[in-house]
Amino acid sequence: MANHKATTSEKRIKELLLHAKKPGEDAMKLHPFYKGKIEVIPKCCIRNYDDFAIWYTPGVAQPCKDIYKQPEKVFEHTNKWNTVAVISDGTRVLGLGDIGPRAALPVMEGKALLFKYLGGVDAFPICLDTKDPDEFIKTVKYLEPCFGGINLEDIAQPKCFRILDTLRREMDIPVWHDDQQGTAAVTLAGLINALKLQNKKLSESKITMVGAGAANICIARMIILAGVNPKNIIMVDTKGTLHRDRKDLTQSHPEKWEMCLKTNPKVIKGDIPEAMKGAEVLLALSQPGPDIIKKEWIKIMAPKPIVFVCANPVPEIWPWEAAEAGADIVATGRSDFPNQVNNSLGFPAIFRGALDVRARTITDEMCIAAAEALAKYAQKKGLSKKHLIPTMKDWQVYPEEAVAVGLKAIEQDVARRVLTEEQLRKNAREMIQRSIKTVKLLQREKIIRLPKD
C-alpha cells in the first residue's frame, strides 16, 4: 500500500510539474505576439475632427480653469477618479526575487490587466529605476495629481513597510501594498470560512504562522484586528519562533519585533515543529516547497487542523500529503488545487469601492469588510471543504466587495463622495461588465487578435 501511494504521488507530481510549465511556455509565445497586455484607447466620442476642439485646444482650457479654481473638480473632468498606478522597483518579484524594474514590467502589466478586467479600473504599470526607499517615496508622491490610487507591488522588505506607511500617511489618495494588504484580506476570507465549517471562532483559534515576511506580518495584524487573540499566535521566521527574547530583531526588523511582543506569550522556542505542536491552524507563506512543512509536523497539530500552504509556485507541502497527515481543510496559492488564496480576488474590487467614493485612503477595516464580503458570498453559494472562497470566474463577487469597501469608507469618514449601497452596487456592476464586454467585442471584431494554436 505504501509503495502504491508513493507511486501515485510521484505520478501526480510529474503531472503537476508538466502542467506548471505550460503557462510559462505559452507566455513566451504570447508576450511577443501581443507586445504588451494593455493599451490606451479613447473613451469619449469622436464624431468628426471638429470634436478635437472640445477634447483638446481651445475647448480644453475651460475644464483646466475650473480645476485651477476648484482642485477637487479634477475628479469630474479627468479620469483620475478611475486611475491607479501599479508601482514597483522590481526588488521582490513573484518567486523571482530582485530582477530589476525592466524585468518586472510584464508582471506590472499583468496586474494592470487584472485591475481592468476584474474591477473596471484603469491601471498603468510604472517601474522605478531606484532601490532607494526615499527616492521611491518622493517619486510616488510626485505622481499624486494624475492618479486616484496607488498599488505598490513586489518591493523587498523591510523597506516595503516604511514605503507603505509613509505614503499612506502623507498622500491624499489610497495607497496599498498588495503583497501585504491584498494577501491579508483574501487569507482572512478563507480563514473565516474554514473556521465556520468547523464551528470554531477566530477569537479562540490557536494559529501557527510560518514565514515572517511582508505578507504574514500584515496577515497577523489584520486577523488580530478581525478578532484573533494575538496570544494564540506563534510566528516563525528563518531563525525560529518569534518571542520577546529575540533581541536580534529590535533594531533590524521593527515589524517582526512588534510580533515578538504581541504573540507567543509563553515564549515557546524552537523551529517550525515546536510552533506547530497543538495548533489548530497553519498559515504558511514562506518559501516554495515541497518539504518545507513535513507530514509528521501536521500530525502533531490539533485534530483535523486547517492548513494554508500558500507559497508559489509550489506549496510548502503538497495538499494530498497534508490530507494524508490529517489536515481537514487545505488551501494553497495555486489555481489547480481547491481553495486558491489569490490576491486577484481582492485588489480589483477593493480599489473599485475605494475609487467610487473617492476615498483618501484604504484602511485595514475596509480590507476586513472586503474579506467578510468574500466569505459571505462563498457561504451563499454553499461552503465545503473544497470551496472556501470564490474564484476569479465568480465575477459577481467583485461588486459585493466594492460595496462593502465603499460603505466602510463612508462610515469611517475617509470618502469624498457619499453613495448609497444600491448606487455603489450599480456602478461597480456597470464598470466591471463594461470591461468584460469591451474585451469580448474587441476579440469578436478581431481588433484583439486571437493566437493561432
Report if residue 382 sits inside a domain. no
Whether residue 13 lies inside any domain: the answer is no
3-class SS of residue 245: coil
- How far is the C-alpha of 16 from the C-alpha of 438, rounded, in Å? 34
Percent of the chain topping pLDDT 90: 90
The CATH number covering residue 257 comes to 3.40.50.720
Do 155 and 225 lie in a common domain? no
HSE-CB for 117 with a 13 A CA cutoff: 15
Report whether 221 contacts 183 (CB < 8 A).
no
Specify the pairing of strand 281-284 against strand 306-309. parallel
Q: Verify that 259 and 159 share a domain, yes or no.
A: no
In total, the chain counts a number of residues equal to 453
Residues 165 and 211 reside in one and the same domain: no
Mean pLDDT over each residue of the chain, to the nearest integer: 94
Q: Are residues 134 and 166 in the same domain?
A: yes
Domain count, the chain: 2
Judgement on whether residues 67 and 171 belong to the same structural domain of the protein: yes
Percent helix, strand, coil in the chain, to 5, is 55, 10, 35
Under-70 pLDDT residues of the chain: 1-9, 12, 16-17, 19-20, 453
**Quick one: 168 and 207 in the same domain?**
no
Q: Do 264 and 166 have their domain in common?
A: no
The pLDDT of residue 404 is 98
What is the pLDDT at residue 17? Answer: 67
Q: What is the pLDDT of residue 1?
A: 43
Q: In what order do the strands lie in the sheet with 281-284?
A: 240-241, 233-237, 207-210, 281-284, 306-309, 329-332
Residue 117 domain flag: yes
Q: Tens digits of per-residue pLDDT, 156-185?
A: 989 999 999 999 999 999 999 999 999 999
| Residue 70 and residue 100 in one domain | yes
Rounded alpha-carbon distances, angstroms, from residue 174 to 2, 48, 140, 157, 267: 54, 38, 12, 21, 38
Q: Within this chain, do residues 53 and 174 fall inside the same structural domain, yes or no?
A: yes
Query: CATH number for the domain including 135?
Result: 3.40.50.10380
Show which residues are catalytic: 56, 111
Same domain, 136 and 255: no
pLDDT digits 0-9 by tens, 177-227: 999 999 999 999 999 999 999 999 999 999 999 999 999 999 999 999 999
Last residue of a domain, one of 122, 148, 178: 178
Question: Which pLDDT value is given to residue 177?
Answer: 95
Residue 281's domain comprises: 199-327
Task: Tell me, yes or no, whether 255 lies in a domain.
Answer: yes
Query: pTM of the entire structure?
Result: 0.93
Task: Label each residue of 286-326 as H, E or C.
Answer: CCCCCCCCCHHHHHCCCCCCEEEECCCCCCCCCHHHHHHCC
**Are 156 and 164 in contact, with CB atoms under 8 Å apart?**
no
What's residue 22's pLDDT?
A: 81
For residue 123, give the nearest of 151, 143, 154, 90 by alpha carbon: 151
Angle among Cα 358, 107, 24 to the nearest 5 degrees reads 145
pLDDT given for residue 2 in this prediction: 46
Whether residue 238 lies inside any domain: the answer is yes
Closest C-alpha among 214, 216, 182 to residue 111: 182
Q: Are residues 160 and 250 in the same domain?
A: no
Identify whether the C-beta of residue 212 lies closer than 8 Å to the C-beta of residue 235.
yes
End-to-end Cα spacing for the chain: 42
53/143 same-domain check: yes
